Structure 1
């Protein structure tokens, strides 16, 4: 049942692909540069690329990037937003690239969805010797009072342990342990939001997408009430957390 629930969560995003593309944040360029700093050269695979949030940051930095995404609706949004980027259908457990063809594999808010027992050998296959594997997560800065309150009112289905500054390191540290020594770092980031667009962002979380309709509306209603005093546009305080592993 745990495996089935995880699969349901992982496959939930396609139904909200357009909203995901509109409302999810991009990634801190400084975080991406740090993730790639140990790579021998910038041939990069964005794995589980979704609608291209991380792909776009990589492309803006002038990186030679190929994107791989399993969900057709998410992949269509990526191709629409970034027509100049090579974007392939595929998944972490069956990567449609040749052996030793990339120097780095990056995954934006995606590494935790991979079945690493199967994906691990695939990652090792496509990475050139001395390559880098990095997971990136945009996390809420819960050191800010109203953000900590938002976390409490939203519940763990909306804001889980990988989604906040105070807990993301512990929640993700074991994901890539099999690949060797790992490094973790956070980089300041932010996203301009209004109360309503922040609700729309949170509505694209997997835990919300799989909720029964009545529970979803009740949850989003509590969040709206919490944000009622947030008028106009504001910056949602984020950090991009990076888990970086150098392969042998």
Structure 2
């Protein structure tokens, strides 16, 4: 089976439950995009690739899709099965998707494609899609125009190492390597994750793969920096609930051939 990046394997195995509680869901407006752009309707065959703990899978299932999840990290699959016991979840990677060719109408990758953005993955996604099928890529992107969000990024970024990241844009490069997909249509939605700062700020940051994979002493140092920001920043200090701003970016690619 193709290699899963160490930061993903170790980080998501360690913090699967934190990921489930600390990551935001998706804006309500995304449901219309799923219906109108990706064509997700009841009984449509959808494969949620790199499904993690099932946050996006739940949205697809709520629209009545016939959804199957694929996730290579066992701890994430376990969390998904606990929350969505009726959804089949398979062990697999994007480079070797464990389903026959031309058997699904939509493939989705939420918060995940940057981990496996390579020609082999796009070729296999193309293989499993029916002619004219759609690939949907979705990310909740932190709004760093807000100063305390930018301060969080400054705490996290020194620990990135070689972990693939959405913000670099490198995930776009494999689309030029083969004739698998047409140019995408793109939609953006404002989004807010509201809750206790322990969950939506600290938990969100600790669920970042390369932070979760740190040695315990380094992880505790990062935790202390984030707690200090929460305790001292005017927008966060003393707040029982905070609003963490995001922009949700959604890309729809149509299969060629």
CA deviation vs aligned residue, 1:183-214 (integer Å, no higher than 9, x gap): 33221222123222221221111110222222
Q: 1:111 aligns with which of 88, 110, 113?
A: 113
Taking a change above 3 Å as real, the CA distance of residues 39 and 134 of structure 1, as seen in their structure-2 partners, is: closer
Counterpart position of 2:214 = 211
Counterpart position of 1:18 = 17
The TM-score with structure 2 as length reference comes to 0.83
Q: What RMSD in Å do the two structures reach over aligned CA positions?
A: 2.6
The TM-score with structure 1 as length reference comes to 0.86
Q: 2:247 aligns with which of 226, 239, 245?
A: 239
Counterpart CA distance in 2 for 1:210 and 1:146 is 24
Taking a change above 3 Å as real, the CA distance of residues 148 and 224 of structure 1, as seen in their structure-2 partners, is: same
How far 1:162 sits from its partner (Å)?
4.7
Q: Which runs of 5+ in 1 are unaligned?
A: none
CA deviation vs aligned residue, 1:21-68 (integer Å, no higher than 9, x gap): 222222224235425534456321100101101101111222221111
Counterpart CA distance in 2 for 1:8 and 1:161 is 11
Aligned residue pairs total: 241
Q: Which runs of 5+ in 2 are unaligned?
A: none
1:28 is aligned to 2:27: yes
Counterpart CA distance in 1 for 2:81 and 2:211 is 25
Counterpart position of 2:157 = 155
Alpha-carbon contact 1:93-1:115 (below 8 Å) kept: no
- Higher normalized contact order (CA 8 Å, seq sep 6+, divided by chain length): 2
Alpha-carbon contact 1:194-1:234 (below 8 Å) kept: yes
How far 1:15 sits from its partner (Å)?
2.0
Q: SS where residue 66 of structure 1 aligns?
A: strand
